[in-house]
Amino acid sequence: MLNDSPIAANMPSMDFKPLVTLLAIVNPLAIVPFFIHYTLDFTREQRRRTILISSFSAFVVIAVSALMGLHILEFFGISLASFQVGGGMLLLTSALAMLNAQPAEAKSNEEEMHDAAARASIAVVPLTIPLLTGPATMSTVVIYADKAKTFLQLGTLIGYGVIIGLATALCFSLAQPIAKVLGKTGINVMTRLMGLILAALAVEVMSDGLVKLFPVLGR
């Protein structure tokens, strides 16, 4: 059997946990109502351009966090264990907000979002940052980038960023049909389910960091 061969034994197993975590945090389905709101008066071409820019920007944020996040931590003298605990707390906060059917990264009030939209492109601010990829997303990518032992694993993490971008483009492209089919109640239910998954992952991230900071906890 293939599983008993030396080649199969040396093949790295595919870890989909980072992808599941990122999908739970970014949760483009929950941002669909915001996309509809901000692009209400857009033409079809303007809406298409907004979809392309926002999905590509989400990928860029994830890729930069994966490639440069650890170097930024070293520059500021922050240990990864501390960052894991802080990132886990951000994940848990996002999860609690999602369990209340609120967007995972929506931390600004409506007035701040309108000001940001007036200063920059809607596709980047506020749709990509902070609604899609905020602090919780960035910290999660940095944590998983540190766990990557090979260039293949790091490339896989960046590849997951591509999947996130494609998922964002798909959800935004189908925004109107999704809103009609699911309705507000359906989107809220989906958001709560993703929040429950994210809460469990957040506890795991925090516990890993706490054990590194306080080894006695792992005994």
Quick: pLDDT tens for 181-204: 878 788 778 778 878 888 888 888
Q: Which of 90-104, 128-142, 179-193 has the lowest mean pLDDT?
A: 90-104
The predicted-structure confidence for 152-180, as pLDDT tens digits, reads as follows: 999 999 999 999 999 999 999 998 888 77
The more confidently predicted of residues 162 and 114 is 162
Residue 101: pLDDT above 80? no
pLDDT of residue 104: 44
Using a pLDDT cut of 90, give the percent of the chain over it: 27
pLDDT of residue 86: 86
Q: Is 176 helix (H, G, I), strand (E, B) or coil?
A: helix
Residue 7: pLDDT above 50? no
Q: Is 33 exposed, middle or buried (0-12, 13-18, 19+ CB in 10 A)?
A: middle
pLDDT of residue 26: 92
Has this prediction a pTM greater than 0.75? Answer: no
pLDDT of residue 46: 87
Alpha helix segments (H runs only) across 77-174: 80-99, 110-119, 135-147, 151-173
pLDDT of residue 130: 75
The predicted-structure confidence for 11-22, as pLDDT tens digits, reads as follows: 345 678 899 999
CA distances to 21, 90, 98, 101 from 196, in Å: 11, 14, 8, 11
